[in-house]
Chain A
């Protein structure tokens, strides 16, 4: 008797699970022009674990977005596979305007490395909300004071100066661009994510690494790290002493933008409604102040300009991958 009771309960739990999954994939009712929107919470899929840089920006934006659209914007963290799993989930989500997602340039690097077979074109692009640039940094006590010195030393003794990197990620692509632009050859050492690369530079295990402006800022201020060059068109407020790579004669510019998406085929009026709301978010003085304090640029782009930027960055990534045989079997 007892056995059957347990089996029944387990059966019910299974049923509940199947129901829960089934209802998620139910197709959305056809949208009419009069439909009030949004009438329920709008999910924001962040394809990285809670606590990371993208999650942080997602939370800042979501908090303001809630106030503007009058509905909660819960963050759904779906981490893993350097963003691929979360974006895969967004791809499968109903195009009813109640799921949005965000990603950085990893969406292009994953496609270039053939980890995913989709890029930004598989979604409806909403907006770009914020940008940071990448920098080449070293310990403050390092003998190299700028990129030229580093490049020269690396040319004299190729494959001896160690650079901490995260192979396959945008930091790796940026190091490759720098080496291509100067002909210098650094020894790449895969160390992993930002925190681990910072540790390895501070601990003197490697000489240099590529980091985001927001990541290097605290160590720049405490004079523990030196920024050899910034891959940006002009100097960054907060890192004024750090020269750009262009100033040092290297044609390397590598921004990392936060791009927001909806599943392909979402109703046009909902796409523009959320895009308008995001535009308001990026005009909020608090967002502008917070991003600036983190040495980020509170940039905003939409529609044609956004498409152009996204495409240009994709082309750049694919060109680097092609040149260095990345993603080939």
Chain B
């Protein structure tokens, strides 16, 4: 307890506080700009921290992490372009809600959810980090595959009524797009057609920026002279009532726990956390059909979970020296460069750093909340800027961000290619949600399924004999049965019935 307090105490000095504020603000800005991601910002800022004390370096970098995960919701809601991959799912409900003239409410839901998700995972971090990290190690390939499966199954029902096959098709296309590159298990080229550039596969970020950013730009250009009915920004429903909060309490808690848990698992970041929380929210909702049309629950699940992954990702980093996400891997490198060896002894050897980081996570979340709250009115005005001014600016950032991601121009061509592809998919009325889920989750499903089968010698039995795995398998089957009945069988019988009734009339 005392260590935590001293962690907070160090932030009271002007210099560390300054770093935290700068970090959060820069993080939010970079997070909001499509293509520029938090990991990029932190990698760029890393050399600057060589001249700071290690604690101050962490203040700056951790604040950037928190800011960048939160900032993504702004563009996701207002422009339907996720600022960071973590906010992909926020577009599903955030943008429709903004189009209904409730941009203020959508933003507010996102900001409040981010704050709550951050706080809950922070509380778990400080209270339960050491015991939880041991327990969570029990999660092996079998469990991770079943967990991912439970979210993948949701693809079928995502497109809404009557879109059963289109949703499945879009999901499979996403899965297929994730295939080229080096085979994750044998490291040999797969579907690269002899091109060295293709051995990197289609990067997630270039594909996402293309599908959301570029395709939106293309469709905007095709009808730029058409006067869109103006959607004024309103404060309607902006202030969340106590009833709102109470109604969503379960969602907040569930999504926070899912986010924290997924954040813990190595190699899986905020985007997977929000997808799984979204699917869990949909399958436990009373009105699952409202998902995707601008409902509160979707925004809450996505934004709560992606901020909750931050606290989760710090648990293995601080207790075991294992990074839980891309950004924590960079933070781990930063610690080593500052002569601090992350590992199981970090708590003992450098308690000031451990508790300092815990304090920053809290303060940065608080600052993020306050800054976004006050800035949200100004930010939301983006929606009123004429398209003719917005499009070139967005395009520029898309190109810069995609290139800067890996310093490869090939990624920019991928982005444009998928921009065109995304535009076509939308013209064909294909839902984007299943595509994204297939794309993001299938690599995890593939690698963990193959690992699991290698471990079991090819037997599928452990998936149902291991209790945690069994739970997810049962959830998957139940979701599948429910979706098939609702989206496939019921409409089929309804059609047959109506055909039969209509027959005499012919």
Interface hits, B224-267 → A, CB 8 Å: 224-225, 266-267
> B329 touching A51 by the CB < 8 A rule?
yes
> B450 touching A190 by the CB < 8 A rule?
yes
Given A51-B332, A187-B457, A203-B138, CB of A167 within 8 Å of CB of B200: no
> A200 touching B407 by the CB < 8 A rule?
no
> A222 touching B50 by the CB < 8 A rule?
no
> B345 touching A85 by the CB < 8 A rule?
no
A68 at the interface (CB under 8 A from B): no
Given A56-B333, A59-B333, CB of A82 within 8 Å of CB of B187: yes
> A205 touching B337 by the CB < 8 A rule?
no
A120 at the interface (CB under 8 A from B): no
Interface hits, A110-146 → B, CB 8 Å: 113-116
Within the assembled complex, what's the spacing in Å between the Cα atoms of A195 and B322?
Answer: 6
> B333 touching A55 by the CB < 8 A rule?
yes
Q: Which residue of chain B has its CB nearest to the CB of A327?
A: B188
Q: Which residue of chain A has its CB nearest to the CB of B393?
A: A9
Within the assembled complex, what's the spacing in Å between the Cα atoms of A116 and B336?
Answer: 32
> B406 touching A13 by the CB < 8 A rule?
no
- Shortest A267–chain B CB gap in Å is 24
Which residues of the partner chain B approach A65 to less than 8 Å between Cβ atoms?
A: none
> A50 touching B406 by the CB < 8 A rule?
no
Q: Which of A32-40, A71-79, A308-316 contacts B (4 or more CB under 8 A)?
A: A71-79
> B182 touching A195 by the CB < 8 A rule?
no
Contact of A189 among B46, B138, B451 (CB under 8 A): B451
Contact of B451 among A89, A190, A222 (CB under 8 A): A190
Which residues of the partner chain B approach A55 to less than 8 Å between Cβ atoms?
A: 333
Which residues of the partner chain B approach A200 to less than 8 Å between Cβ atoms?
A: 140-141
Contact of A6 among B139, B221, B447 (CB under 8 A): B221
Within the assembled complex, what's the spacing in Å between the Cα atoms of A88 and B344?
Answer: 37
B124 at the interface (CB under 8 A from A): no
A169 at the interface (CB under 8 A from B): yes
Q: Which residue of chain B has its CB nearest to the CB of A24?
A: B409
Given A80-B200, A202-B320, CB of A21 within 8 Å of CB of B333: no
A196 at the interface (CB under 8 A from B): yes
Interface hits, A12-36 → B, CB 8 Å: 13, 17, 21
A293 at the interface (CB under 8 A from B): yes
Q: How many residues of A contact B (CB 8 A)?
A: 67
Q: Which of A213-221, A228-236, A255-263 contacts B (4 or more CB under 8 A)?
A: A213-221
Within the assembled complex, what's the spacing in Å between the Cα atoms of A82 and B332?
Answer: 20
Given A13-B392, A327-B188, CB of A50 within 8 Å of CB of B409: no
Given A82-B187, A85-B197, A218-B342, CB of A9 within 8 Å of CB of B457: no
> A85 touching B200 by the CB < 8 A rule?
yes
B321 at the interface (CB under 8 A from A): yes
Given A3-B221, A190-B450, CB of A113 within 8 Å of CB of B187: yes
A285 at the interface (CB under 8 A from B): no
Q: When each residue 379-410 of chain B gets 1 if its CB lies under 8 Å from chain A and 0 otherwise, what string results?
A: 00000000010011001100100000011110
Which residues of the partner chain B approach A266 to less than 8 Å between Cβ atoms?
A: none
Which of B42, B201, B321 is packed against the most chain A CB atoms within 10 Å?
A: B321
Which residues of the partner chain A approach B187 to less than 8 Å between Cβ atoms?
A: 82, 109, 113, 115, 167-169
Q: Which residue of chain B has its CB nearest to the CB of A196?
A: B266
B287 at the interface (CB under 8 A from A): no
- Shortest B337–chain A CB gap in Å is 6
> A2 touching B343 by the CB < 8 A rule?
no
Interface hits, B332-386 → A, CB 8 Å: 332-333, 336-337, 339, 341-345
- Shortest B253–chain A CB gap in Å is 26
- Shortest B335–chain A CB gap in Å is 10
Interface hits, B40-86 → A, CB 8 Å: 42-43, 46-47, 50
Given A78-B408, A189-B455, A190-B454, CB of A9 within 8 Å of CB of B392: yes
B186 at the interface (CB under 8 A from A): yes
> B196 touching A6 by the CB < 8 A rule?
no
Contact of B395 among A10, A85, A188 (CB under 8 A): A10
> A88 touching B197 by the CB < 8 A rule?
yes
> A85 touching B199 by the CB < 8 A rule?
yes
- Shortest B410–chain A CB gap in Å is 8
Which residues of the partner chain B approach A167 to less than 8 Å between Cβ atoms?
A: 185-187
Interface hits, B469-483 → A, CB 8 Å: none
Q: How many residues of B contact A (CB 8 A)?
A: 66
> A52 touching B201 by the CB < 8 A rule?
no
> B344 touching A224 by the CB < 8 A rule?
yes
> B225 touching A2 by the CB < 8 A rule?
yes
Interface hits, B267-300 → A, CB 8 Å: 267
Given A13-B395, A221-B345, CB of A195 within 8 Å of CB of B388: no
Which residues of the partner chain A approach B326 to less than 8 Å between Cβ atoms?
A: 49, 51
> A80 touching B201 by the CB < 8 A rule?
yes
Within the assembled complex, what's the spacing in Å between the Cα atoms of A60 and B47?
Answer: 10
Which residues of the partner chain A approach B186 to less than 8 Å between Cβ atoms?
A: 167-168
B189 at the interface (CB under 8 A from A): yes
A206 at the interface (CB under 8 A from B): yes
- Shortest A200–chain B CB gap in Å is 7
- Shortest A20–chain B CB gap in Å is 8
B323 at the interface (CB under 8 A from A): yes
Q: Which residue of chain A has its CB nearest to the CB of B223?
A: A3
Q: When each residue 289-305 of chain A gets 1 if its CB lies under 8 Å from chain B and 0 otherwise, what string results?
A: 01001100000000000
A162 at the interface (CB under 8 A from B): yes
B175 at the interface (CB under 8 A from A): no
Given A17-B399, A115-B187, A191-B451, CB of A50 within 8 Å of CB of B39: yes
B412 at the interface (CB under 8 A from A): yes
> A218 touching B339 by the CB < 8 A rule?
no
- Shortest B429–chain A CB gap in Å is 26
Q: When each residue 74-110 of chain A gets 1 if its CB lies under 8 Å from chain B and 0 otherwise, what string results?
A: 0011111110110011000000000000000000010
Contact of B199 among A80, A89, A187, A290 (CB under 8 A): A80
- Shortest A293–chain B CB gap in Å is 7
Within the assembled complex, what's the spacing in Å between the Cα atoms of A258 and B495?
Answer: 67
Q: Which residue of chain B has its CB nearest to the CB of A43?
A: B407
> A2 touching B388 by the CB < 8 A rule?
yes
- Shortest B21–chain A CB gap in Å is 24
- Shortest A130–chain B CB gap in Å is 14
Which residues of the partner chain B approach A191 to less than 8 Å between Cβ atoms?
A: 141, 451
Which residues of the partner chain B approach A82 to less than 8 Å between Cβ atoms?
A: 182, 187
A199 at the interface (CB under 8 A from B): yes
Which residues of the partner chain B approach A219 to less than 8 Å between Cβ atoms?
A: 321, 343-344
22 A-B residue pairings within 8 Å (CB atoms): A9-B391, A9-B392, A10-B392, A51-B326, A51-B330, A51-B333, A52-B333, A59-B46, A78-B408, A84-B199, A113-B188, A159-B457, A167-B186, A168-B186, A189-B454, A193-B267, A195-B323, A202-B320, A203-B137, A203-B139, A218-B344, A290-B339
For the complex with contacts A17-B412, A162-B455, 14 further pairs of A-B residues with Cβ separation under 8 Å are A13-B396, A51-B43, A51-B330, A51-B331, A55-B333, A77-B407, A114-B188, A115-B187, A189-B455, A195-B266, A195-B323, A199-B322, A200-B140, A204-B137
The 9 closest A-B pairs by CB, nearest first: A218-B343, A168-B187, A203-B137, A80-B200, A51-B329, A51-B330, A222-B344, A50-B43, A81-B199
Interface residues of A (CB under 8 A from B): 2-3, 5-7, 9-10, 13, 17, 21, 49-52, 55-56, 59-60, 63, 76-82, 84-85, 88-89, 109, 113-116, 159, 162, 167-169, 187-193, 195-196, 198-200, 202-206, 217-219, 221-222, 224, 290, 293-294, 327
